[in-house]
């Protein structure tokens, strides 16, 4: 459980954490349940797109697994992915959006670009990879339909790596079907990401180009930098981490906040002996993020181990 103290206010966030290896779930803390993986499924969606002929280079594969910030490098890579397959931005089925990186957004606005565009959406890399796979297979480009062959392939592969049936699927914010799982199943999938040779291209790309999978300053990128593995978060407070040793860790904050879930991953890595002193100190802002009030720190998050 994570606890946030802010002045005289104390908020509690129930967090479930699970640890898995190739042999199955090794440890679990907190009450488990079902939830939608949202963007935490992107490494596995990207792996299926690549297997079906997307033909992505490492940087492109990192963006395919990304919840990016719409920075120039992210947008350029997505446009290159599309152009390389004879596609364009009009083929993207994610909603129009603006870059989540405020500096990038302001720079675009200064040049007269104030429109929302699908390519700026944080999921556009995933969508571009799916388009390339559909093009390679000769499938219709209406790839967001749950009955589309690509989505059927993704659902089947997700069932394999999760060890559970991810159906019924929902609809993610970007329009693509989103898969459901438990925390234990998510940890199992991330253990596969850490150890399965069939997933090594994705995990290597995410590790080598961690800023492309988020924005360089997000917990996922910081965990990749200091904790020898790759992380992928999803909306509503879930995150998975694949450690280079083959260990998978997953956390879900049931009140939907992302910070307690990321903090729980750091604490679990430390408890497992996978995070030495210096990297642990470097991740202090993730393990115990400050709570601000009136422009100053008035509290912090503390993870209470059961």
Number of helices (H), then strands (E), in the chain: 13, 13
Task: For 51-95, write each residue's pLDDT tens digit.
Answer: 999 999 999 999 999 999 999 999 999 999 999 999 999 999 999
Neighbour tally for 160: CB within 10 Å: 10
Question: 139, 157, 142: which is closest to 45 by C-alpha?
Answer: 157
Neighbour tally for 133: CB within 10 Å: 28
Structural domain count, the chain? 1
Cα 261 to Cα 16: distance, rounded to the nearest angstrom:
8
User: Is residue 124 predicted with pLDDT exceeding 80?
Assistant: yes
User: Is residue 6 predicted with pLDDT exceeding 50?
Assistant: no
How much is the pLDDT for 3?
44
User: Is residue 9 predicted with pLDDT exceeding 60?
Assistant: no
Q: At CB < 8 A and 24+ separation, what contacts does 266-274 make? A: 266/223, 266/227, 267/303, 267/305, 268/17, 268/19, 269/227, 269/241, 269/243, 271/305, 272/19, 272/247, 274/227, 274/228, 274/243, 274/245, 274/247
Mean pLDDT of 293-303: 85
Mean pLDDT of 299-304: 80
Task: For 160-173, write each residue's pLDDT tens digit.
Answer: 999 999 999 999 99
Q: Considering the chain, what is the average pLDDT of its residues? A: 92
Cis peptide before 197 (omega within 30 of 0): no
Sheet holding 2-6, edge to edge: 9-13, 2-6, 296-303, 290-293
221, 245 Cβ separation under 8 angstroms: no
User: Is residue 205 predicted with pLDDT exceeding 50?
Assistant: yes
Mean pLDDT of 109-116: 96
Where does the pLDDT of residue 27 fall: very low under 50, low under 70, confident under 90, or very high at 90 and above? confident
Report the predicted TM-score, pTM, of the whole model to 2 decimal places.
Answer: 0.93
Neighbour tally for 182: CB within 10 Å: 21
Residue 248: exposure state from Cβ atoms within 10 A (0-12, 13-18, ≥19): buried
CATH of the domain at 288: 3.40.710
Host domain of residue 266:
2-303
Name every residue whose Cβ is closer than 8 Å to that of residue 218 and which is 6 or more positions away in sequence.
233
- Which run of H or of E encompasses 2? strand 2-6
Cα 284 to Cα 255: distance, rounded to the nearest angstrom:
22
In the Cβ-directed half-sphere of 95, how many Cα atoms lie within 13 Å? 8
């Amino acid at each position: 459980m994570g606890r946030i103290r802010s002045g005289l206010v104390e908020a509690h966030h129930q967090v479930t954490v699970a640890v898995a290896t190739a042999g199955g779930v090794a440890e679990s803390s907190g009450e488990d349940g079902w939830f939608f993986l949202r963007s935490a499924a992107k490494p596995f969606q990207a792996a299926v797109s690549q297997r079906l002929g997307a033909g992505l280079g490492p940087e492109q594969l990192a963006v395919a697994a990304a919840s990016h910030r719409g920075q120039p490098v992210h947008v350029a890579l997505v446009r290159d992915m599309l152009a390389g397959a004879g596609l364009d931005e009009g083929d993207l089925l994610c909603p129009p959006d603006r870059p989540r990186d405020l500096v990038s957004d302001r720079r675009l606005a200064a040049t007269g670009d104030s429109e929302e565009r699908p390519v700026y959406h944080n999921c556009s890399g995933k969508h571009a990879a799916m388009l390339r796979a559909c093009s390679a297979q000769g499938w219709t480009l209406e790839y967001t339909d749950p009955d589309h062959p690509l989505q059927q392939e993704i659902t089947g592969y997700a069932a394999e790596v999760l060890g559970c049936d991810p159906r019924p699927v929902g609809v993610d914010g970007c329009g693509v079907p989103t898969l459901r799982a438990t925390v234990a199943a998510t940890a199992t999938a991330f253990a596969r990401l850490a150890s399965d040779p069939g997933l090594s291209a994705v995990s290597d790309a995410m590790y080598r180009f961690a800023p492309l999978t988020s924005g360089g300053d997000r917990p996922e990128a910081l965990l990749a930098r200091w904790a020898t593995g790759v992380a992928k978060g999803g909306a509503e407070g879930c995150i998975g981490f694949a450690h280079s040793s083959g260990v998978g860790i997953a956390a879900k904050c049931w009140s939907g906040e992302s910070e307690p879930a990321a903090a729980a991953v750091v604490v679990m890595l430390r408890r497992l002996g996978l995070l030495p002193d210096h990297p642990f100190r470097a991740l202090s802002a993730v393990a115990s993020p400050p709570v601000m009030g009136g422009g100053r720190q008035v509290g912090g998050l503390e993870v209470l181990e059961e």
